[in-house]
Structure 1
Amino acid sequence: MNQASALSSPAPRPLQGMAWGVLAVMLFSAGLPATRISVEAGMSGLFTGAGRAALGAVFATLLLLVTRQRLPAWHQWPRLGVVALGVVFGYPLLSSVALETVSATHSVLVTALLPLCTALFGAFLHHHRPRAGFWLCAVAGTALVLFYAGQQAEGHWQLADLWLLLSCVLCGLGYAEGARLAKELGSWQVICWALVLSLPLLLPIVWASWPATRVALPGWLSMLYLSSVSMFIGFFFWYRGLAMGGVTLVSQTQLLQPFGALWLAALLLGEPVSAQAVWICLGVVACVALGRRYA
C-alpha cells in the first residue's frame, strides 16, 4: 500500500466520521437542484447524468496518475463495479432522466428513502439481520413516498417515480459497498477507481446524447458543479466518513440532505415548497431515523 492509501485508511473514529459525513451531505444537497438547472438549460437527462460522471472520471484519472496510485487487486475490481453501478450509473443517470419530467422538490421527497436503502445494504453486507422494527419503518416511509408521488400525479404513477426509487436502491448499494472498500483502498481512491472503470461506457453515452441545440450558461456551470463536487470531491468526504464512523452511524447524516435540497430548490429554482411537502419530508425522515435504529 502506498503512502496516500495508508493515510486515507483511518481507524474507527465515530465523531470525526460524522463530521466528514455532514460535510459531504452539505455538498450533495445541491445535486438534484443543479441537475434540474442543467435539464432546464437544454441538456437531456441522459447527457447530464453521463456527462457529470465522464468529466468526474477525467478528474479522477488525473489525480490517480499524479499521486501514482497502485492498481486495485483483481478481486477488488468486481466490487468497484458494484460501486460504479450505484453511484456512477444508477443514481446520476436515473435521477437526471427523472428530472426531465418532475421538479427538484418532487425528486427530493422521493429520494428521501436513500438513507434507508443505505442502512439496509450496510446491514446486509455486514451480515446483520434487521429487526422487525426496521421493516415496519421501511414500509411506513415507503408508503408516505408512494402517497405523495401518487397525489402529485393525481392518482397515476409517473415513470419518473420508478426511476427515482430505483436510483435510491442502486445508490444505497453503492454507498454500502464503497464504505467497505474505503477501508482497503482509501476513501477518495474508491470513487476515483469506480469512475475510471466506468469511463469506457460513459463516453459513448455522452457522444450519443450530446445536446443538438445551444445550452445556456447556467447549464454548463451546473454540470461543472455536478462533476467536480457531487460526483468527485463530495465522495472523498463521504467515503472517508463512512469508513471512519461506520455505515449505520454516519449514514444518519443523510437525514439532513432532503431539507438542504428543498431549501436550495426554492432558492435556486424558485420552486414552491408546500406545507404538505415539508410534513411528508419530516415523516419520511422520521421513519428513516427510527428504522435505522433497528438496522
Structure 2
Amino acid sequence: MKADNSAIAVLSIADDSHRRASRGSLLAGVGVLSFSGSLPATALAMRGFDPYLVAIGRAVLAALVAVICLRAAGAPLLPPRAHLRAYALIVLSVVIGFPLFSGLALAAGATTAHSAVVVGLLPAATAVFAVLRAGERPRPLFWTACAAGALSITVFTLTRGTGRFAGADVLLVLALLSAAVGYTEGGRLARETPGWRVISYALVLAAPITVPVTAVLAVVTPQEPSAESLAGFAYVGLVSMFLGFIPWYAGLAMGGIARAGQIQLAQPLLNLVWAWLLLHEEIGAATIAAALAVLACVAVTQASRRRPGVGT
C-alpha cells in the first residue's frame, strides 16, 4: 500500500509539473505574439522619429506605465539589492541593447523580413544562456540543431548581400545576444518575483539614463510625427517594452527558460506576416526558406531537450 501511495504521489507531481509547463508555454506564446510586431512597429516609428529616439524613448514611455503599476500595487519602486546585478544586465540587454541594435539595423538598410530571419536564432541563443546561467543541460542533438540553424542563417546573410556580413547583420547579432541575456536573467528572476515587476524594476532602474537621453534627443533630432509613426512608437513603448514581458517572463519562469523560450521559434514567421501586412515588404522565396529552416532547427532543439527533473 505504501508503494502504491508513493507511485500515486510521483504521478501527481509529474502531472502538476506538466500542467505548469503547459501554462508556461501558453504564456510564453502570448509574449511571442506581442513581440512579433516589434520590428515592423519600430520601422513605422522611425518614419517620423530618429532611430536613437525610438530606441531610448520607448523605455521612458514604458517606465511611466511601470511606475504607475508599482504604485498601484503598493510595491517598492526598486528591486532588492541582492538582485541588482541581474537587473543591470536586463537594463543593458532588453531595455537598451535590443531596441538600439535592432533599430539601428533597420536604419542601416535591413528589412524587417531580413531582420526577422536573422533574429530567428534567438530561441537557441536564449537556451545557450540558460545553460550558462540557469544550469540547464540539453542533449547533444540540441547543439547539433543549433549549429544547423546558425549555418542556415550564415548562408542566408551571405547570399542576400555581397558575400559577407553587412554592418546591419552585425547589429542584428548584437540585438540577438542582448535579448538572449535579458530573457535569461528575467526568467531567472521571475521564479521569485512576478514577471510584471521584473520588467518594471528594470525600466525604473534605467530611467536615470533613458529620461535625460530621451529629452536631449527630442531636442536635437529631427521629427516628423505622423499617425503611423506615433502608432509604431506607442506599440514598441507599451507592448514591446512592457506588456509583452508580463506573460513572457512568467512563461519562462513556469515552463523553463530553454523550453518555453523555444516558443519564440514562431516569431520569424509572424514577423514576416506583419512586415507584409503593415509595411508591404516583398518576401522572397529565400527569406521564407531561411525562416522555415530556422523553424525546423529550433523545433529539434525543443524536442531534444531532457524532461524537467532529468538534467534540465
TM-score by length of 2: 0.86
Counterpart of 2:132, as a letter, is F
Amino acid at match of 2:263: T
- Residue of structure 1 in register with 2:13 after alignment: none
Work out which of the two has the higher radius of gyration on C-alpha atoms and give 1 or 2. Answer: 2
What's the CA shift for 1:138?
Answer: 2.1
Work out the CA distance in 2 between the residues paired with 1:43 and 1:140: 38
> What amino acid is the match of 1:77?
L
Would you say the 8 A contact 1:16–1:245 is kept in 2?
yes
Task: Give aligned-pair identity as a percent.
Answer: 35
Deviations along 1:77-106, one digit per CA (max 9) or x if unpaired, are 111111122210111111011111211111
Please point out which of 202, 206, 211 is paired with 1:194.
202
**Which amino acid in 1 is paired with 2:67?**
T
Match of 1:249 among 253, 259, 262: 259
The unaligned stretches of length 5 or more in structure 2 are 1-16, 306-312
Q: Is contact 1:45–1:98 with CA below 8 Å preserved after alignment?
A: no
* Aligned 8 A contact 2:265 2:294 in 1: no
2:69 maps to what in 1?
Answer: 63
**Partner residue, 2:3:** none
> How many residues are treated as equivalent by the alignment?
285
Range 162-171 or range 137-146, more displaced: 137-146
**1:144 deviation in Å?**
1.4
SS at match of 1:272: coil
In structure 2, relative to structure 1, the CA distance for the partners of 1:65 and 1:180 (3 Å cut) is same
Partner of 1:162 in structure 2?
170
Deviation at 1:292, TM superposition (A): 4.2
Q: Is there any run of 5+ residues in structure 1 with no aligned partner, and where?
A: 1-10
Q: CA deviation at 1:159?
A: 0.8
How far did 1:224 drift?
0.5
In 2, are the aligned partners of 1:50 and 1:202 still within 8 Å (CA)? Answer: yes
Supply the distance in 2 between the matched residues of 1:193 and 1:171 (Cα, whole angstroms).
Answer: 17
Q: Which residue of structure 1 lines up, in the alignment, with residue 4 of structure 2?
A: none
Deviation at 1:293, TM superposition (A): 4.2
TM-score, length of structure 1 as denominator length: 0.91
| SS of the residue 1:184 aligns to | coil
Which residue matches 2:231? Answer: 221
Is this contact kept in 1: 2:24–2:253, CA < 8 A? yes
- Of 208-217 and 20-29, deviating more is 208-217
Which letter does structure 1 place at the counterpart of 2:40? P
Could you report, residue by residue, the CA deviation over 1:23-62 in whole angstroms, capped at 9, with x for unpaired residues?
11111110001111112x2322211111111111111111
User: Would you say the 8 A contact 1:119–1:292 is kept in 2?
Assistant: no
The AA in structure 2 aligned to 1:248 is A
Q: 1:5 matched to which residue of 2? A: none
